[in-house]
Chain A
Amino acid sequence: MYKQFYSYGMSVSLRYTNNRDEAVEVLNDGFMKVFSHISQYDADKNFTAWFRRILINTAINYHKKNIKHQHLGLERLPDSPALQQSALDELSYQETILLVQELPLAYRTVFNLYVIEGYTHEEIGTLLNISVGTSKSNLSRARAHLRSRLTQNHQEGATRHGR
């Protein structure tokens, strides 16, 4: 079971953590909860959805204190030139994850919950105990940061290519 859902579980936990070690810790904590509460799993429903929620809850709890009180940087992001779709196509999964992990915890969590999981800002506010405005603001800053980093990567790649 661990082997079967390892890749899926890591793909979720990597997005919510700062590095691979933390991701493994969240993944294993999630598996511990699965093993100890397997009786609560409804066999008629999708296991991966249940497992995903466990992992998200575990990751949020892992960083709960930090999410709310973390000092947020990125107050002034550089204006980035327009980013073309072709630039994104060059990115691997690994590079994408690294970009997400670069985000400050509060931005990263809101970005993941809103963009990947499909939560609303109201739901995120309740889950993280922050206001809707803060959630929106964090999402906006997360996007700006990612755009900036993608553009930067693209420019560095173009420079290397030109030499």
Chain B
Amino acid sequence: MDDKELDDFFRKQSEHPDIPYREEDWEKLRKKLDASPKNNGAKPGDKGWYIGLLILAMISGIGWGWKYWEEKQPDAVANIQSIVASSGDGKLTEGPLGITDKEDLKSMNGPVRHGLGPLDSPQGIAQTESTQSLKEETAMMQHEVSAFSKSMSGPLPDQRSVIRAVGSRQPVEPPLPDFPNAGYEKAQLAGLPDKNGSIRQVPESAVKERKNIGRRFHTTLTLAPDVSALKIKDIQGLGNSIGLNLEYFFHPKISINAGALYSFKTYQAGEGYSTGYVPSPSHVNGNCWVLDLPVNLRYYAVGQQLSKWYLTAGLSSYLMLKEKYDLEYKSYNYGGNAYGNSLEVQNKNKHYLNIINLGIGYERVLTDRLSLQVEPYLKLPLQGIGEGDISLKSAGAFVGLKYGW
């Protein structure tokens, strides 16, 4: 028997299978389908388990940051609130230490108090008004207060309350957490001493704003060139990303970031890489339009007031808006001729919290509200991405203009 006869025999035998069906084999498949990740929740050791832990850590971090913030708010804030609570009808209210304004004024010392008459008499007020130094002081203060007038529903504080605040030597500048731009905020809101060392009025609206001091919220408009590939040597073409990022500081150096990026990713893969395709193509050209929804923690590790370095880590969700693939197969069955196929899907694949985000960035303060950020990043998938279940990695550099609220 030669080779041909032998081959023909086995070929012929394989053409007529008669294998009876077994229910137990279907049961095995059914169990496999039930146990597939798509049908199950997270178990210890699964990716979902780690994601849950990360979210728990984030929530804990926010809670801790909140508590830290609360503890850092001294009673002085409440004191200031009661100090400025004097009404506009000339009546004096009780101070935070149980001392009336009148008593407080009587005990005042310093240049502003000097020359003032009794406050509870018209003559006293007139005397006050006639004092040149107080006029200048009052004019300065009114000018400053006018900046807040839009947010104040009532009339500007009368002279008594102004004088009361000027005369008060209360520690109106409590220690504050050093949130971004906090120095500027402190100067504006807390009533810094003027050239003469006098403490100025803090408007009520500004006091309320103290709770949000340091601009906890920031929005960043982000642009980024993006390269995507399964392996570095396969990098081709340049994608891009554009989007918005919302940043919230729950700690002076740590913020939580959430955003939305519209990304275009282009890549190619050679044989053996895209095993998710069935059957495996020998070559793939892929173009994907992705809505990237990142949730990151950012740590401002190093820096001064004007320039900082930070680290970013977190997870992204990819919503695959559109995927276009050019697939090339080597046909082993039909003479070895390569043939191609195109594949396009829309809004089909969604990968929730499936991509690790890593970045290291530099921030430069431009004005009191604007900063420029540059952040090289890396995005690593935890699971296969897109229709082909490919391990699509991305890298690039975010360039962002950040605005503090």
Contacts and interface: CB of A to CB of B under 8 A. Distances in A.
Contacts of A91: 13
B18 interface: yes
Contacts of A127: 332
Given A93-B16, A116-B14, A28 B32 contact: yes
B32 to A, nearest CB: 6
Interface stretch (B118-126, B136-144, B277-285, B313-321): B277-285
Contacts of B21: 3, 6-7
B19 A10 contact: yes
A40 interface: yes
Given A3-B21, A7-B19, A115-B11, A28 B28 contact: yes
A154 B25 CA distance: 34
Interface in A23-81: 24-25, 27-28, 31-35, 37, 39-40, 42, 49-50, 52-54, 57, 61
B234 interface: no
A84 B33 contact: no
B7 interface: yes
A111 B275 CA distance: 24
Given A40-B387, A82-B1, A143-B6, A57 B279 contact: yes
Given A32-B29, A53-B333, A116-B14, A39 B7 contact: no
Interface residues of A, number: 53
B7 A115 contact: yes
Nearest to A49: B333
B196 interface: no
Contacts, number: 102
Contacts of A32: 29, 32-33, 36
A143 B32 contact: no
A11 B17 contact: yes
A123 B336 contact: yes
B25 A115 contact: no
A40 B277 contact: yes
A111 B7 CA distance: 9
A88 B9 contact: yes
Contact of A123 (B3, B330, B348): B330
A92 B304 CA distance: 83
Contacts of B275: 61
A14 B10 CA distance: 13
A101 B305 CA distance: 73
A96 B280 contact: no
A15 B14 contact: yes
A40 B17 CA distance: 27
A159 interface: no
Contacts of A28: 25, 28-29, 32
A26 B42 CA distance: 26
B367 interface: no
Contact of B17 (A10, A24, A35, A42): A10
B5 interface: yes
Interface string B71-115: 000000000000000000000000000000000000000000000
Interface of B: 1, 3, 5-7, 9-11, 13-14, 16-21, 25-26, 28-29, 32-33, 36, 271, 275, 277-280, 330, 332-333, 336, 341, 343, 345, 348, 387
5 contacts: A28-B25, A85-B1, A115-B10, A120-B336, A143-B6
